[in-house]
């Protein structure tokens, strides 16, 4: 496994691979990331991973500074998972003085997270486009946990004709159902105990949907009740949307997607489930 | 020479070339474009040309509808010039339903044309990025006539790490000095006679600069006087800027660039000259 901090060095090494899968990450890797790495390796013969906590996708009052980081542990995990190339730039490598460009992903990017976190998806679209141009993979792998991010990436990759196939992989969960996330380590013991309630709320909404419920108000009410009962009342959103548009519809279509964003103390947790 | 109207067909043909130069155009080709095509062919062994009047870089009151078009003549000229691949998409090929992404080029894009034509450079950056992703050239060739566009392209290509080398070529001029432009055919005979005054005004400013003049007000005054005397008083801008930043400085630096945008009847003419 080779590790590079500069674009030029990475590009030189990249020439040694005809095909490459790619997993962009913000580090502090968990089993969700490692599953993507193993699948990318299996499907492309070789895999590149980037580790970069991208400052431009964090708002001024968000957790950029406190986002967990442990590159040494990440590199050990990536070596075990079979990574071939790792790109580990510092912010000044990707955003040198004079940097002035941003990609505005419209459409799905304007909903939910786009409203809760202004500028977030523009930061994501810009850095992912940069990373794709540096890594030049055949396929890139993303986790369904960031469902809206996956839809945004598909949108701008199609719109900009970027020649990379986007592969979305299932959510990796802890044994109690909590979606794996780098931010989970920052939960207090008490909130860690409450956190599986997100998954349980989604399961409850899925049960209602399977039993025929299509009224969005009712499904959203059930999500909220589950969260509040579990002691997680600080709900950013608990909604059911059309999975193509990420827009709420009064009566759910068949491709309904339930989405949650909840604050558990200082930690913002997200989760989702197709209904 | 092969001509394609769809992205998929172009991409299939593109695989037949290891290296490719690229000249993006809006068609109605003149000797300026053909010079770029011949140079791209010589420097890369093969050359692709796109012909696309990009609606997103025209403002609502600009000349998108009346922009001159003659694809049959263009294709004959390109064949003579040695073009290998031509990409001739319709707007719906590049902007299908649901298209929602735009690239905002900041920095130099905020000055001059960026102020006269809001959204223009965003349209340019978005379509050029798309074309680069479709054509995947080693090098792309642009004319210095669109000096600010060249600076904008260099900026977003660097910022997004797009692996394409940008080559800027000298302005092609008519024998009387008028910069070649697809829009020149729309000049009335009277305005066609006046139009070389742009080049003459730039030469006058260059003479003053060579004689030691560094006061931007004086140089700009000379540009304006020349244009008004020649019967072209409808000046959008007549300015001297730093060629790196496209910002005006009270006292010119050594890399000063004089730029003109002038309306001659319904036709907007631009020209520029390093001083």
Pairing of strands A2-4, B235-242: unpaired
- For A73, which DSSP code? H
The pLDDT score that the predictor gives to residue B213 is 97
Buried b (16+ CB within 10 A) or exposed e, B145-183: bbbbbbbbbebbbebbbbebebbbbebbbbeebbbbbbb
Instruction: Look at A109 and B129 and tell me if their CB atoms are within 8 Å.
Output: no
Is the C-alpha dihedral spanning B92, B94, B96, B101 positive or negative?
Answer: negative
| Residue partners of A96: CB distance under 8 A and separation at least 6 | none
B contacts of A101 (beta carbons < 8 Å): 103-106, 125, 155-156, 159-160
CA distance A120 to A35: 25
Q: Which domains does chain A have, with CATH numbers?
A: 2-169 (3.40.50.620), 182-274 (3.30.1300.10)
A contacts of B155 (beta carbons < 8 Å): 98, 100-101
Whether A128 and A153 have beta carbons less than 8 Å apart is answered as yes
Average pLDDT over residues A38-44: 98
| Residue B28 Cα, gap to closest chain A Cα (Å) | 25
Task: Report which of residues A106 and B212 the model is more confident about.
Answer: B212
B149 is in an annotated binding site: yes
| Residue B71 Cα, gap to closest chain A Cα (Å) | 24
B120 is in an annotated binding site: no
- Residues A139-197: pLDDT tens digits? 999 999 999 999 999 999 999 999 999 999 999 999 999 999 999 999 999 999 999 99
Extract the tokens encoding B215. Answer: 């006061």
A contacts of B98 (beta carbons < 8 Å): 107, 155
Extract the tokens encoding A62. Answer: 């968000």
Q: Which helix (H) or strand (E) holds A104?
A: strand A101-105
Average pLDDT over residues A188-209: 98
* pLDDT-above-90 percentage for chain A: 99
Residue A47 vs residues A17, A57, A154, A187: alpha-carbon distances, Å = 9, 24, 20, 31
- For B180, which DSSP code? P
Nearest Cα residue in chain A from B153:
A101
Extract the tokens encoding B152. Answer: 């904008």
Instruction: Look at A105 and B106 and tell me if their CB atoms are within 8 Å.
Output: no
Neighbours of A2 (CB within 10 A): 14
Instruction: Look at A126 and B102 and tell me if their CB atoms are within 8 Å.
Output: no
- Which residue in A106, A160, A242, A246 has the most chain B C-beta atoms within 10 A of its own C-beta, making it the best mutation to test that interface? A160
The pLDDT score that the predictor gives to residue B37 is 98
Average pLDDT over residues B17-44: 97
Could you tell me the pLDDT band of residue A77, with boundaries at 50, 70 and 90? very high
Q: What is the phi-psi region of residue A136: left when phi exceeds 0, alpha when psi lies from -120 to 50, beta otherwise?
A: left
Q: What is the mean pLDDT of chain B?
A: 97
Residue A165 vs residues A127, A146, B96: alpha-carbon distances, Å = 17, 17, 19
Q: Is B120 a catalytic residue?
A: no
The pLDDT score that the predictor gives to residue B164 is 98
CA distance B101 to A154: 11
CA distance A268 to B45: 54
B contacts of A100 (beta carbons < 8 Å): 105-109, 155, 159
Could you tell me the pLDDT band of residue B28, with boundaries at 50, 70 and 90? very high
CA neighbor of A102 nearest in space, from B114, B156, B152: B156
Residues of A with a Cβ under 8 Å from any B Cβ are 7, 11, 98-109, 125-126, 129-130, 133-134, 136, 155-156, 159-163
Could you tell me the pLDDT band of residue A248, with boundaries at 50, 70 and 90? very high
The pLDDT score that the predictor gives to residue B192 is 98
The pLDDT score that the predictor gives to residue B191 is 97
CA distance B52 to B93: 11
Residue A207 vs residues A222, A239, A256, A272, A273: alpha-carbon distances, Å = 11, 15, 13, 14, 11
Whether A171 and A145 have beta carbons less than 8 Å apart is answered as yes
Report how far apart the first and last C-alpha atoms of chain B are (Å, whole number). Answer: 40
- Residues B125-157: pLDDT tens digits? 999 999 999 999 999 999 999 999 999 999 999
Could you say which of A11, A105, A162 has the minimum Cβ distance to residue B100?
Answer: A105
- Residues A48-66: pLDDT tens digits? 999 999 999 999 989 999 9
Extract the tokens encoding B204. Answer: 């006058």
| Residue B10 Cα, gap to closest chain A Cα (Å) | 12
Whether A150 and A142 have beta carbons less than 8 Å apart is answered as yes
Extract the tokens encoding A84. Answer: 């071939």
- Of A61-70, A93-102, B14-23, which gets the smallest average pLDDT? A61-70
CA distance B2 to A97: 42
Instruction: Look at B133 and A107 and tell me if their CB atoms are within 8 Å.
Output: no
B contacts of A134 (beta carbons < 8 Å): 161
Largest distance between two CA atoms of chain A: 57
| Residue partners of B61: CB distance under 8 A and separation at least 6 | none
Could you tell me the pLDDT band of residue A117, with boundaries at 50, 70 and 90? very high
């Amino acid at each position: 496994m080779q590790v590079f901090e500069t674009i030029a060095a990475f590009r030189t090494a990249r020439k040694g691979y005809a095909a490459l899968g790619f997993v962009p990450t913000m580090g502090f890797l968990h089993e969700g990331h490692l599953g993507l790495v193993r699948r990318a390796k299996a499907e492309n013969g070789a895999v590149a991973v980037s580790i970069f906590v991208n400052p431009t996708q964090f708002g001024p009052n968000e957790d950029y500074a406190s986002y967990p980081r442990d590159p040494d542990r990440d590199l050990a995990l990536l070596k075990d998972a079979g990574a071939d190339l790792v790109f580990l730039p510092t912010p000044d490598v990707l955003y040198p003085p004079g940097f002035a460009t941003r990609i505005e992903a419209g459409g799905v990017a304007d909903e939910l997270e786009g409203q809760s976190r202004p500028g977030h998806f523009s930061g994501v679209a810009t850095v992912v486009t940069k990373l794709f141009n540096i890594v030049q993979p055949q396929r890139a792998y993303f986790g369904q946990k960031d469902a809206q991010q996956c839809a945004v990436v598909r949108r701008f990759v199609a719109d900009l004709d970027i020649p990379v196939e986007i592969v979305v992989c299932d959510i990796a969960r802890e044994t109690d159902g909590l979606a794996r996330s780098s931010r989970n380590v920052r939960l207090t013991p008490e909130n860690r105990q409450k956190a599986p309630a997100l998954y349980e709320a989604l399961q409850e909404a899925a049960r209602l949907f399977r039993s025929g419920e299509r009224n969005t108000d009712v499904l959203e009410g059930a999500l909220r009740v589950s969260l509040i009962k579990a002691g997680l009342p600080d709900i950013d959103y608990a909604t059911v949307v059309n999975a193509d548009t990420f827009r709420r519809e009064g009566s759910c279509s068949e491709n309904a997607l339930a989405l949650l964003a909840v604050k558990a103390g200082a930690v913002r947790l997200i989760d989702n489930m197709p209904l």
